[in-house]
Amino acid sequence: MKTFLKSVSYLGLALSIVPSLLVFAGRLSMETNLNLMAVGMVLWFATAVFWIKRDQGL
């Protein structure tokens, strides 16, 4: 399960970075960029919290 969550998290992170590069290259519209980045943000924050280890010193 942890491997699945990591995969989905990294997909969300990629959806937060790659669309901006495609807009810069002129291959993607700004509206599509914003939609993909919103989906990526939701994926990242919804899944990363379950597998990133917390600091035990706090």
In a domain, 57, yes or no: no
In a domain, 56, yes or no: no
Contact by Cβ (8 Å): 10, 41:
no
In a domain, 14, yes or no: yes
> Which of 48, 44, 47 minimizes the C-alpha distance to 14?
44
Alpha-helical (H) ranges within 1-58 are: 2-24, 30-47
- Stretches in the chain below the pLDDT threshold 70: 55-58
Domain that holds residue 44: 2-50
Contacts of residue 12, Cβ cutoff 8 Å, sequence gap at least 6 = 39, 40, 41, 42, 43, 44, 45, 46, 47, 48
Q: What is the pTM of this model?
A: 0.82
Q: Report pLDDT for 56.
A: 60
Phi, psi of 14 (to 5 degrees): -65, -35
In a domain, 20, yes or no: yes
In a domain, 58, yes or no: no
Q: How many domains does the chain have?
A: 1
